């Protein structure tokens, strides 16, 4: 525990300022390098961290999955059943891959879904050394099974893992593991008889080292599970948001709001629960004394308004201050809107405040709003409650979302369910 001698070469003012980002860049660069080497034996080490430089430190390799099929296959629950006894219903199998600083990544296992065994001293149970991803597999109307942009989730998974001091890996290997799990469980759990349905995939990475010292874990477990999940994008009367209280800030500049780490979720539950008890669906998280709109619950937040000059704008918070999650749905919406709507709508990523939203409302310029994320897909927002005031937001002619909300939703759904052929929809080669 005693600090070693201070190397004189590192007294560099610039390094003092960006300790974190330089550490991440460092690790990512090493990772990119080792991915160029022969898979399975590239050294992903910087000699400083939990990646010890050893010739036998193995890379994550999805081509070598060990298959152990369940002997107790479970019944698929009826449509609409997502939990049994308050527990999420998962498919028959899961993928697990152990990692240690000493040996690197072990052989991936596809095995029966079941409990994990962790020592009470495991890092994840004390220090929140955990990150995850969420994406869906969609049973297309053409009968094919697709993942939606799994490359984006896999890359963000790596970024989150770096931020929370968990190991690095080649994102493409995680993508292959996702496809492998769906190849096995897809045919039964997302049957061809139920086109237009989806299943939720949850890649997770946790620090398992059973040591209480506060340090980057030298052992970890990556696992992927697939579960049922309710359709959440069409609540009756739309999603109602309560702005965040003064005494709770979700994320902050210099923090980790952009990473999908557990530490962003647990601390927000209290305010969310209180808001739900008051009849709202989610918190609209504001930032700073200016009250910048950042996220809606754990989703990105979009507004469509007319500017004072009369232009129609689709606006959402920017990524550059790293407060918000770089959502895959968010990114896809912006890409599609720029491609298909730019003649009629200006697409803007900038900081904007709750006051601007309220002013637009009072001047009749507020057109639409929606929350966007994998879980909520695109969910129209009908109301924002802020400091004793209700901002009612139009829900469109049909009452289930504004014009652009529904257009974007339709375009994305067409890609997800294979109504159009698009590179974002990655087809699973199913076993049966």
By CB under 8 A, the residues from 263 to 302 that bind a second copy are 263-267, 269-281, 297-298
* Binding test (CB under 8 A) with a second copy, winner from 174, 261, 317, 406: 261
Pick the piece of the chain touching a second copy (CB under 8 A) from 5-13, 71-79, 175-183, 363-371.
Answer: 5-13
* Binding test (CB under 8 A) with a second copy, winner from 41, 112, 113, 192: 113
CA 180 to chain centre: 20
Beta strands in 185-218 (DSSP E): 198-207
By CB under 8 A, the residues from 163 to 182 that bind a second copy are 163-165
* Binding test (CB under 8 A) with a second copy, winner from 28, 49, 74, 312: 49
Distance CA 218, CA 77 (A): 39
Decide: is 72 part of the binding site for a second copy (CB under 8 A): no
Contact 88, 227 (CB under 8 A): yes
Q: Residue 116 Cβ, how far from a second copy at the closest point, in Å? A: 5
Site of tokens 């697990």 = 96
Beta strands in 228-306 (DSSP E): 239-243, 282-287, 292-296, 299-306
Decide: is 239 part of the binding site for a second copy (CB under 8 A): yes
Decide: is 310 part of the binding site for a second copy (CB under 8 A): no
Distance CA 260, CA 282 (A): 18
Decide: is 29 part of the binding site for a second copy (CB under 8 A): no
Decide: is 38 part of the binding site for a second copy (CB under 8 A): no
Distance CA 352, CA 348 (A): 10
CB-wise, 246 or 398, nearer to a second copy?
A: 246
Burial of 87: CB neighbours in 10 Å, binned 0-12, 13-18, 19+: exposed
Distance CA 193, CA 334 (A): 33
Which residues are paired to 304 by β-bridges? 314, 368
Decide: is 132 part of the binding site for a second copy (CB under 8 A): yes
Decide: is 222 part of the binding site for a second copy (CB under 8 A): no
Pick the piece of the chain touching a second copy (CB under 8 A) from 144-152, 241-249, 360-368, 422-430.
Answer: 241-249
Measured between alpha carbons, how far is residue 49 from residues 21, 210, 220 in Å? 14, 18, 14
Element (H, E) at 166: none
Decide: is 358 part of the binding site for a second copy (CB under 8 A): no
Q: Residue 305 Cβ, how far from a second copy at the closest point, in Å? A: 23
CA-based torsion, 250, 255, 256, 261: positive or negative: negative
Decide: is 191 part of the binding site for a second copy (CB under 8 A): no
Q: Residue 390 Cβ, how far from a second copy at the closest point, in Å? A: 8
Decide: is 353 part of the binding site for a second copy (CB under 8 A): no
Pick the piece of the chain touching a second copy (CB under 8 A) from 70-78, 200-208, 305-313, 348-356.
Answer: 200-208
Pick the piece of the chain touching a second copy (CB under 8 A) from 111-119, 187-195, 303-311, 312-320.
Answer: 111-119
Distance CA 432, CA 420 (A): 24
Measured between alpha carbons, how far is residue 195 from residues 32, 75, 402, 422 in Å? 38, 19, 26, 18
Pick the piece of the chain touching a second copy (CB under 8 A) from 188-196, 248-256, 328-336, 338-346.
Answer: 248-256
* Binding test (CB under 8 A) with a second copy, winner from 60, 65, 90, 222: 90
Measured between alpha carbons, how far is residue 296 from residues 149, 231, 244, 253, 369 in Å? 22, 17, 10, 18, 11
Decide: is 248 part of the binding site for a second copy (CB under 8 A): yes
Decide: is 392 part of the binding site for a second copy (CB under 8 A): no
Decide: is 395 part of the binding site for a second copy (CB under 8 A): no
Among residues 312, 299, 295, the alpha carbon closest in space to that of 360 is found at 312
Decide: is 326 part of the binding site for a second copy (CB under 8 A): no
Beta strands in 182-337 (DSSP E): 198-207, 219-227, 239-243, 282-287, 292-296, 299-306, 312-316
φ, ψ of residue 257 to 5 degrees: the values are -60, -25
CB-wise, 209 or 332, nearer to a second copy?
A: 209
Pick the piece of the chain touching a second copy (CB under 8 A) from 172-180, 310-318, 337-345, 380-388.
Answer: 380-388
Decide: is 130 part of the binding site for a second copy (CB under 8 A): yes
Decide: is 197 part of the binding site for a second copy (CB under 8 A): no
Which residues are paired to 97 by β-bridges? 222
Decide: is 137 part of the binding site for a second copy (CB under 8 A): no
* Binding test (CB under 8 A) with a second copy, winner from 52, 57, 97, 124: 124
Decide: is 121 part of the binding site for a second copy (CB under 8 A): yes
**Number of residues located near a second copy, criterion CB under 8 A:** 118
Decide: is 1 part of the binding site for a second copy (CB under 8 A): yes
């Amino acid at each position: 525990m005693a600090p070693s001698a201070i190397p004189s070469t590192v007294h560099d003012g610039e390094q003092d300022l960006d300790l974190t980002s330089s550490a991440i860049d460092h690790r990512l660069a090493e990772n990119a390098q080792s991915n160029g080497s022969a898979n399975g034996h590239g050294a992903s080490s910087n000699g400083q961290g939990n990646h010890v430089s050893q010739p036998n430190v193995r890379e994550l390799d999805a081509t070598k999955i060990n298959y152990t099929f369940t002997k107790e296959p479970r019944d698929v629950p009826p449509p609409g059943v997502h939990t049994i006894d308050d527990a999420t219903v998962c498919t028959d199998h899961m993928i697990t891959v152990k990692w240690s600083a000493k040996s690197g990544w072990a052989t991936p296992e596809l095995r029966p879904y079941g409990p994990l065994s962790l020592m009470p001293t495991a890092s994840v149970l004390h220090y929140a050394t955990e990150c995850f991803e969420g994406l869906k597999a969609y049973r297309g109307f053409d009968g094919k099974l697709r993942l939606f942009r799994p490359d984006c989730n896999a890359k963000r998974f790596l970024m989150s893992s770096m931020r929370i001091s968990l190991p690095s890996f080649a994102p493409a290997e995680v993508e292959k593991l996702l496809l492998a799990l769906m190849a096995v469980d897809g045919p039964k759990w997302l049957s061809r008889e139920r086109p237009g349905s989806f299943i939720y995939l949850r890649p997770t990475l946790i620090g398992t080292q059973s040591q209480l010292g506060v340090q980057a874990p030298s052992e970890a477990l990556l696992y992927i599970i697939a579960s049922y999940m309710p359709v959440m994008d069409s609540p009756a009367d739309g999603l109602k948001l309560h702005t965040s209280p003064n005494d709770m800030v979700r994320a902050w500049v210099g923090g980790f709001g952009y990473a999908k780490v557990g530490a962003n979720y647990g601390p927000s539950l209290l305010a969310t629960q209180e808001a739900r008890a008051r009849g709202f669906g989610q918190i609209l998280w504001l930032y700073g004394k200016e009250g910048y709109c950042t996220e809606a619950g754990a989703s990105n937040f979009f507004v469509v308004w007319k500017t004072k000059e009369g232009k129609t704008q689709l606006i959402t918070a920017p990524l550059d201050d790293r407060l918000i999650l770089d959502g895959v749905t968010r990114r896809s919406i912006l890409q599609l809107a720029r491609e298909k709507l730019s003649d009629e709508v200006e697409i803007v990523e900038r900081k904007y405040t709750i006051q601007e939203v309220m002013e637009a409302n009072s001047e009749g310029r507020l057109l639409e709003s929606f929350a966007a994320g994998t879980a909520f897909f695109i969910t129209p927002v009908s109301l924002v409650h802020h400091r004793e005031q209700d901002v009612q937001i139009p829900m469109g002619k049909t009452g289930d979302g504004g014009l652009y909300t529904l257009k974007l939703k339709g375009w994305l759904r067409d890609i997800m369910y294979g109504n159009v052929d698009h590179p974002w929809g990655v087809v699973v080669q199913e076993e049966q």
